[in-house]
Every structure is written in C-alpha cells, then in structure tokens.
Structure 1
C-alpha cells in the first residue's frame, strides 16, 4: 500500500519536489508520536525549514493523502477565521495509510491492547479520518501552558470540544475549559472512547465507533435531546 503511494509521488510530482514530498510523508508516524503533535520540519530532516517543505505538505494534501489540523487562536466560531495557518498537525485522511506505515504486526497489537503510548496517535487519527470523510475541516486548540484539546468542531451551531480516548479516563484540559466558560466560551464537549451513550454534566459520551456521526448537519437526527440517563447500552 505504502509503496503504491510513494510510486505515485514519484510519477506525478515535479522532479525537484519528489524527495521532499516523500520525506514529509514518511515523517508522519514520528510527528504523531510526539506529546505535542504539532508538525515540525526538523522532524522531517535535521535543519528542515518551512520554506523547504510547506509545498510538499500542500502536494500531499491536494492529493488527498493527508489533511492539516490547524491550531486556533481562541475556542470560538468561526473556526476557520480563528485558525493559525503556520501551526498545524498532519493526519492521514485514511487510518489504513497510517496503520500501513507502522511496524509489521501493529494491527495485531491493536487487538491485543499492546500499543502503550502510541495508541493516542492512532485513535486521534481515526477521529480525523471520520471528520475528513464527512467533509469537515480539522481544528484543535493548544496553548504554551500545556492546555490542549484534541479537536474543535461546529456542532449544533456551537464550538464544541471533541476529545478522543483510547479507552476512558479524565481529560484535564477539557475540564479546565468547561469550568471557565466566561474565558473560553465553550459550553459543551463530546468525549469518545470505551463509553456507552451518556452524559456527564456538559459532556456527551459516545463509543468511538460512533465518531463518524459527529456532523453538524445531522446533529438533531443522530443525537437528539433526549433523557440520556435512560440509555445504558448501545
């Protein structure tokens, strides 16, 4: 699978760009392995600069292989208007691409729960896959203080936090934002992981496999305002 993608890069890209495109593409697993998943050109190649590689990322995005997820200045709509164009993460548009780029046997490790620290990157990319396939752009929020939200989406006409957990657990940054509504102007969040459909205060919990349903135009149909306390299983 990966060989075919790289063959296409060689076939269709300009000669001067081929090596840079391949280097950007091959750096994606390393970029997502970092705690701060912001795309760094120095990870592509020591001493790498934006001027050297930004066109290669654009080529990969235009080819439909990757999608940039932009950091936002504030947690408010419109997300595109508040995005920081030089600060972004890079996800593959199809989770199968990322899985094929990892070590042989990773698929079996997923089933056995042996991914340890890298599982967060895989599950985030899976959510990015869901959002890309529904035609949505990708945004996240990060501050130098360490506060970071996996994704921000427009949902039911509001800016809503989208947090992805490989299993379940606390999300400190999300809790901080929801407790300070006068500062961040976010009232609700959706948390995906090993959950049943339910609600924890301002947080809607749903199982990860339902992530493809998080789409604003379907919000009223897919997740209506019902008494979620009645839903104990899917």
Structure 2
C-alpha cells in the first residue's frame, strides 16, 4: 500500500534546483519507507531508473564499482545490461538503496555526479557509523535529507482525513477551537495514531481491517529487526545499547522521564554511554532530548548532555515495546487508551508523540529543569523547549504535555516569569480543545501540535 509522503515535494525541489549537480542522500530509520518513496519518485519523475539494492546485489555490479569507475561508458553499460534498463542522458535516475552496505558506492558519487549524465539518489540508515565511513571520502557532491516515520498529518491522509487536517491548521492559524464534534473526532484519530504509529507497514496493517492487533504484529517484527541490528554492532558497546533500548519504556514511565545511569548499572555515568547514544541517535531508533541549562540564543551551546531523555523514534513502536504481546492483543488495553483511562502510561505516549511531531517538523528538542536549593527538589520542569531560529529576534517556546483533562502548570508559570523577555509563546498540549488562558498561555489539543 503506497501512502502520500510529504518528503516527495522535497525530492522534487532537489531535482529541479540542483539539476544533477548534487546527489541526494535520504537518511532514516529502518522500515520507514525510504526505498518505497525513492522508487515511487523515480517511476513518476524520470523516463527510466535503476534501483541497486546493496542488500542483494550481484557480483557483476560489485565488480563494476571496484574496477570500472575509470571507464564510465563500460560501467553504465554493465548496469544497464544487469538490470535490463535503458538509461537516457539527463532523464534517468540511479538509486543506491541501503548504500551503507557498500560504502565504496557512496564514495563513487563524486565521480558520477561530475560525469553529469544521470541523477543519483541514495538511501540508508546508520550512515555515519564509523565502520560505514572509515575507509571512504565523504563526497561533497552529496546533499543529506532526513526522513521520518509517517507524521500525524500523513496518518490522517492515509485515513482519508485530509480535509480535517486543513481545518485543524486553519483553526491553529486563527487561534480558535474546533467545532466540538470535529475536536472529538480529531482526538480519536490522534489516539489511534499513538497506538498504530507511523511505520508504513503498521499503518497498512491497521487500515486493512482496522485491526490494532495486526498493526502490533508488524511493529513487533520491526522491533525484532532493531534488536538484530544492535546485536551486530561492536562488542565494546553492544550491551549498553541494548540496555538503553530495552529500558526506554521504563524511563519514560517515570515522572522526570530522563535516563538515570545509576539505575542501569551502579556507578555508571554519561561518558560511558556516549557511543551508545550516538548509535541510537544515528540509527533514528530514538529521538534524543537534552537538558538546556540556560534557554537562550543557541540552545545547543547550553545543553547538558549528562541529562538526557530518550524517546522512541515512533510512538507506535513505543506502545508495542512498552506492553507485552498478550496485553496488546487484549481489546481492553486499547479501550483504556482510546478512552483516556491509562493514566501514567498514557502520559508517556503523549509526550513521546510530541517529541516525534517536533522532530518531524525539524526541531531539535530540549528540556529544562531548575533545582531549588532551599526546597531540595526541582521546582521547574519543562517538557520541551523549541526555538524559532530567528537570529535577529530570537525567541524560545516552552511546552508542557498533559495527558489528563485536569492538571496544574506551576512549572510553566515559573518558567515564563523567569525568562519572560526570551519567550515567544508558551504552550500546554492537552486532550481538550484550543484555549488561551488568562495569563496568555496557549493550550493546544494534542493533534494541533503538528502545527508547531
């Protein structure tokens, strides 16, 4: 089942603006649809294309990369013959699928782009892991683009609800609530989204018979694939990656949600896990969120990497990762989530979904905590901080996530008082309709977070 993906328009922009002078590398987690969108783009936008899958490539093709790059006429003749595809000057696309499996092909991009006959699209995961780049020169003729699991807007489109998305965006722009019935419908779809997630196989399985169980089966296959990938990495940090991966739901179930290294193993500290988070972040299995000690221009400059939250890259995967297979196949669990009665675990899913939505919109997320020496506890805890990236009039936007309809927000109030001059707008994400509080804090229904 093919889904409409927003990255397609970015691929078109690359094709029209670079005119063959840059190859495009699509990076992203396994099973998010990179190969599918690359081939769909090639099929519709080019006269012909070749897809070289480096998971299953012939000796003839490998030999061509190893020995024939000095004779490109012969090189292209071999590719054309091997795949049975005629190539046309400036009208054909060659796709290097899972290019991390054969780094030499990635290095060849420099020579191939300079030749200028065809366009080149690469897809891959774990692109920057040391063993995938240590023996090659990264081509400057390559432009990188991130791809994510299907976001909430794409999920709605797959459900045939594109008009609802337009209505939500219009209400956000006008700062008005949705009509009550449409708000309830949008919230139901959002809850379906946090259960199903944005992995295309999971969405397709769900849509086939509106079955959460079929969706869960697909997600567990993907989680097993991720574990298999972890088991292939270097022994020196394999166990640590696995330990973090396995405990993500446990950490997100806690109040603060950040990773406490001493709870993984006594005496542990962040420096011991640096390679771990690099691998998990680069694989796009997780979305990292670091503590920002002084929310100001350039949040990265003030990040405290020893304080980290680790969200799953896809909230649907988190749901299957957090609950046992038996629990997920019982309809009662789905009813609890859809009816908003899962309490703490529902808050974990809401917060993970927001991290996913922010990442899909290009934000690098941070959080903020302030320790009160007199009270001996944190008196300000802000779930997320994003920026508008304005270099002239820089503003920060604090976000608190509330999964219940009754809540307090003293932390957000204190944060706004402390950093008033730096704040553009302050948001609460909640299950209720759009509302602006008397103090100016904007309350967004969870589905409207896609507009941030």
- Say whether 1:7 aligns with 2:210: no
Which sections of structure 2, spanning at least 5 residues, go unmatched?
Answer: 1-219, 373-377
Equivalent positions of 1:116-131 (< 5 A) are 116-131=343-358
The partner residue of 2:409 within 156, 160, 171 is 171
Query: 1:232 maps to what in 2?
Result: none
Query: 1:20 maps to what in 2?
Result: 240
The alignment partner of 1:80 has SS state of helix
What per-residue deviation string (whole Å, max 9, x for no partner) do you get for residues 55-97 of structure 1?
1121111101112211111232321122222222111121122
Count, aligned residues: 212
What per-residue deviation string (whole Å, max 9, x for no partner) do you get for residues 123-152 of structure 1?
111100101112211101001231111111
Structure 1 pair 51–198 and aligned structure 2 pair: CA distance change class (3 A): closer
Verify the 8 A CA contact 2:395 2:422 in the aligned structure 1.
Answer: no
- Say whether 1:33 aligns with 2:253: yes
- Say whether 1:151 aligns with 2:389: no
| CA shift for structure 1 position 102 | 1.1
Query: 2:294 maps to what in 1?
Result: 74
Structure 1 pair 80–54 and aligned structure 2 pair: CA distance change class (3 A): same
Equivalent positions of 1:102-141 (< 5 A) are 102-104=322-324, 105=327, 108=334, 109-141=336-368
The alignment partner of 1:144 has SS state of strand
Question: Partners in 2 of 1:64 and 1:129 — Cα distance?
Answer: 11
| CA shift for structure 1 position 187 | 5.2
Is the deviation greater in 134-143 or in 187-196? Answer: 187-196
Structure 1 pair 176–65 and aligned structure 2 pair: CA distance change class (3 A): same
Question: Partners in 1 of 2:304 and 2:263 — Cα distance?
Answer: 20
| CA shift for structure 1 position 172 | 0.9
| CA shift for structure 1 position 180 | 4.1
Query: 1:220 maps to what in 2?
Result: none
Verify the 8 A CA contact 1:38 1:89 in the aligned structure 2.
Answer: yes
Verify the 8 A CA contact 2:287 2:356 in the aligned structure 1.
Answer: no
Question: Partners in 2 of 1:17 and 1:84 — Cα distance?
Answer: 22
Verify the 8 A CA contact 1:140 1:151 in the aligned structure 2.
Answer: yes
- Say whether 1:101 aligns with 2:339: no
Verify the 8 A CA contact 2:289 2:365 in the aligned structure 1.
Answer: yes
What per-residue deviation string (whole Å, max 9, x for no partner) do you get for residues 13-48 of structure 1?
113332221111111111112222221122223443
Query: 1:230 maps to what in 2?
Result: none
Structure 1 pair 144–187 and aligned structure 2 pair: CA distance change class (3 A): same
TM-score with structure 1 setting the length: 0.82
RMSD (Å), alpha carbons: 2.1
| CA shift for structure 1 position 49 | 3.3
Verify the 8 A CA contact 1:177 1:186 in the aligned structure 2.
Answer: no
Structure 1 pair 114–199 and aligned structure 2 pair: CA distance change class (3 A): closer
- Say whether 1:85 aligns with 2:305: yes
Question: Partners in 1 of 2:276 and 2:238 — Cα distance?
Answer: 8
The partner residue of 2:449 within 208, 211, 227 is 211
Larger Rg: 2
TM-score with structure 2 setting the length: 0.44
| CA shift for structure 1 position 197 | 2.3
